[in-house]
Chain A
Amino acid sequence: MVENRPFLTVLTHAALIIGVLFLCFPVWMALVASTHSADALSSSPIPMWFGDQGWQNYSLLISRGLPEAGGVPLGRMMLNSAIMALGITFGKIAISIISAYAVVYFKFPFRMVFFWMIFITLMLPVEVRILPTFDVVTKMGLLNSYAGLIVPLIASATATLLFRQFFLTIPDELVEAARIDRAGPLRFFWDILLPLSRTNIAALFIILFIFGWNQYLWPLLVTTDEGLYTIVMGIQRMVNSGESLPVWHLIMGTAVLAMIPPVLVVIAMQKLFVKGLVESEK
């Protein structure tokens, strides 16, 4: 805002605050609901403030699994989710930074063909290619394994494009200076390109970790073994627990716990992310 009028300041702040309240309300509800007993939640009105059952609910969740979720302990599901999310994140970053490096810095036959092939896959998210992918994974015998959860989700056109755009902004002289300094392709990648991409990697890490953590459809398809269930699947199974009433207080507690790792990742990476924005070293 260039103008400095108190009325406008109040108005814009009011709009922002309403927006924040709107976004935070579901989270607030989950937090509140997870501290009540099942009875309090099934009767009207729904409580808007914390109850006294928080401790019991959370200790129940953490200490032993719910029969409604197939009896898989929460810790196990969190671990599965973490392995999958981290696997996808690291895999995607590694693959996409290497392919972007190849596309930008090396001249090889059909370079642009490869680039466009990567680009076109942007239009094919997992949901579109889910049947053929499932078929491939089945034939490779990867059902019910971490590899089956992770590998099909690794290829990423978005991240490749992002790194490509970033590499294109690196001045050619830097590459030339490195060549004169006797840095071969691998050394240039490791000593110069990778450190310069640090902030981009941090930003991608946040996005990709959340993407991986929130995967629902794919894990649902490739896992039948309860030992491989992820937390997002677990929540869904709790809601659809057949005949009995959904145990909302425990479901909300699980949801709150499931939120923690992505939030931690954002907090941890944000520092680096913001630092990169402020310093603008190029």
Chain B
Amino acid sequence: MANLSIRSLGKTYPGGVSAVRDVDIKIQDGEFIVLVGPSGCGKSTILRMIAGLETITTGDLDIDGRRVNDLEPGDRDIAMVFQNYALYPHMTVRANMEYGLKNEGLPKDEIAERIAEASRTLRLSDYLDRKPRQLSGGQRQRVAMGRAIVRKPKVFLFDEPLSNLDAKLRTQLRAELKALHARLNGTFIYVTHDQVEAMSLADRIVIMSEGKIEQIGTPMDLYLRPATRFVAEFIGTPAMNFIDATVGSDGHSLQIGEQMIAADAPIHAPAGTLVSVGVRPEHLHRGQDHAMHVKLKTGFVEQLGADTIVHGEASTNGTASPLGVRLQGVHMPEPGSELQLGAALSDLHFFDTASGQRLNT
């Protein structure tokens, strides 16, 4: 087990396309880090650079204090689980798990012991003599995890390992992964584009966009205090709502349509700055007695049983902007009817419309 230090890491492909710029992450021993972001944001490139499958253009990568920039993947003491499993199709499950250990030259009884242990943990003991094609998707991915575990690496790398599985299996394997992490107490670095997966697995999330880190923090940091509008939109489903506003002349208030909202702390922007006020659908409530209120013209309604998600248009300041609200329990609003909604001051997020940076502390 090990800690990892990534310092001003960058990747530029021949031809000048820069996939990753100036990435700094410090990863503690035993941490479960999830890299998340939309496709093409560079998260997989970072993982592949850590694995050694992609060369590092700039910056340093240390595993346990040793610079590994120029080491071959096999010499970095890492293990990787791929999205499409990447099992050797002509080898049995046992041979798949053994292969790396044999290449390392471990003694036979040691290999057998490790495989017995890993296959017990992953409930694969009955399948050791089967070929990968005789297994289901979930079993295949467990074999791929087994192949990683038996190597007892310093760092485990996961590249969207659950993306090829169906929703039910994904939830189940997510729980297994979390349990595996607790059991092995290893350093896990996990890449996904699924924010739910990121939220449920991570100790800390690194959220990326266009090759740069937007924010690093615990899932609740990201949910409660998104640093940028991008993070605010990316984390949480349905996505956060945004309403246009301007900073009032006193620097303490926001003008939303005819409404004036007094912020509880100074807003770090000059008067007249355009601001996007973010509020999560689950933080909007019915009624009049709220710090900020908004009218919703009902459109499409999702009846989910536990919640009702109402999509529609907000009519705060003349211009209509899309708005969604998550109401607890069963509601049956008529399409076209108006709902009176409001949110507490503490549930509002202010972002500079131009830069996307968070304004309220």
Contacts and interface: CB of A to CB of B under 8 A. Distances in A.
Q: Bin the interface of chain A by size.
A: 20 to 34
B56 to A, nearest CB: 16
B99 interface: yes
Interface string B116-134: 0000000000000001010
A279 B133 contact: yes
Contact of A182 (B51, B104, B133, B147): B104
B99 A174 contact: no
Nearest to B83: A173
B90 A195 contact: yes
Contacts of B89: 196, 281-282
Contacts of A198: 90
B86 to A, nearest CB: 4
Contact of B103 (A187, A195, A282): A187
Interface string B50-83: 0111000000000000000000111100111011
Given A171-B86, A195-B90, A281-B89, A180 B104 contact: no
A155 to B, nearest CB: 29
A281 B140 CA distance: 14
Contact of B73 (A173, A180, A192, A282): A180
B357 interface: no
B74 A182 contact: yes
* Most chain B beta-carbon neighbours within 10 Å: one of A179, A180, A196: A180
B84 interface: yes
Contacts of A171: 84, 86
A179 B74 contact: yes
B13 interface: no
Contact of B86 (A173, A195, A196, A281): A173
B356 interface: no
B88 interface: yes
B72 to A, nearest CB: 7
B100 interface: yes
Interface in A95-128: none
Contacts of A30: none
Contact of A180 (B79, B88, B133): B79
Given A191-B99, A196-B89, A177 B82 contact: yes
Q: Which of B52, B83, B87, B88 has the most CB of A within 10 A?
A: B88
Contact of B80 (A177, A183, A282): A177
A278 B131 CA distance: 15
Interface string A157-185: 00000000000000101101111111100
A196 B74 contact: no
A180 B100 contact: yes
Nearest to A196: B90
Contacts of B133: 279, 281
B235 to A, nearest CB: 29
A53 B170 CA distance: 74
A180 B74 contact: yes
B90 A180 contact: no
A219 B79 CA distance: 55
Nearest to A281: B89
A176 B90 contact: no
A180 B99 contact: no
A49 to B, nearest CB: 50
Interface string A258-282: 0000000000000000000001011
Contact of A192 (B72, B78, B88, B104): B88
A173 B52 CA distance: 13
Given A182-B74, A182-B104, A279-B133, A176 B99 contact: no
Contacts of B72: 179
Nearest to B54: A176
Given A174-B88, A196-B89, A281-B133, A181 B82 contact: no
The residue in B53, B75, B87, B89 that gathers the most chain A C-beta atoms within 10 A of its C-beta is B89
A176 B74 contact: no
Interface of A: 171, 173-174, 176-183, 187, 191-192, 195-196, 198, 279, 281-282
18 contacts: A176-B53, A176-B80, A176-B82, A177-B82, A178-B99, A179-B72, A180-B73, A180-B78, A180-B79, A180-B80, A180-B100, A182-B100, A182-B104, A183-B99, A192-B90, A196-B90, A198-B90, A282-B89
